[in-house]
């Protein structure tokens, strides 16, 4: 069964953490699904991932080579054709416990300055852990990422 890691963003946006997490996932040999709520968000992330400091190969779902993409950017209603071992979920998109069970990791990134995002993350924590998914909570509140207990 996969593990869910919750990342409570308080000092930086998801766009700053994603390259770090994606690099680690790719180094582990995993294919990744990066899921967001809106196409405009995925298009922005697509541009940022190509223009960042490192090369993070990826593609937007719906292209002819989806199955070959190391990182596939998807919307909630799209299946990840790349056979991901890791899901990175943004913007409070739904993450089903049975989906996490088939993964190595599920990373849920949420904005600590947004009350609705905090409430959604709490609901997701309860839903996933209530279904038996192992979960960890990470915070950057101290200025560096720390696992909280």
| Domains, the chain, ordered by start | 3-148 (3.40.50.10110)
Q: pTM of this prediction? A: 0.94
3-state SS assignment for residue 30: coil
DSSP 118-131: HHHHHHHHHHHHHT
Q: What is the pLDDT of residues 60-81, one digit of tens each?
A: 999 999 999 999 999 999 999 9
Q: What is the pLDDT of residues 68-121, one digit of tens each?
A: 999 999 999 999 999 999 999 999 999 999 999 999 999 999 999 999 999 999
Q: Give yes or no for a contact between 4 and 134, defined as CB atoms under 8 angstroms apart.
A: yes
- Integer Cα distance of 61 and 99 in angstroms: 18
Its sign, for the CA torsion 12, 109, 114, 79, is positive
Q: What is the pLDDT of residues 131-140, one digit of tens each?
A: 999 999 999 9
């Amino acid at each position: 069964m996969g593990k869910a890691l919750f990342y409570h963003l308080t000092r930086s946006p998801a766009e700053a953490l994603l390259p770090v997490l994606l690099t680690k996932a790719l180094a582990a040999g995993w294919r990744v699904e990066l899921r967001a709520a809106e196409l405009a968000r995925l298009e922005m992330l697509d541009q940022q991932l190509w223009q960042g400091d490192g090369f993070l190969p990826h593609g937007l779902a719906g292209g002819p080579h989806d199955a070959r993409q190391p990182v596939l950017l998807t919307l909630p209603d799209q299946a990840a054709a790349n056979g991901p071992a890791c899901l990175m979920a943004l913007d409070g998109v739904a993450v089903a416990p049975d989906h996490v069970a088939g993964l190595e990791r599920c990373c849920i990134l949420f904005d600590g300055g947004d009350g609705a995002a905090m409430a959604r993350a709490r609901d997701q924590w309860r839903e996933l852990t209530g279904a038996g998914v192992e979960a960890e909570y990470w915070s950057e509140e101290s200025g560096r990422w720390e696992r909280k207990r």
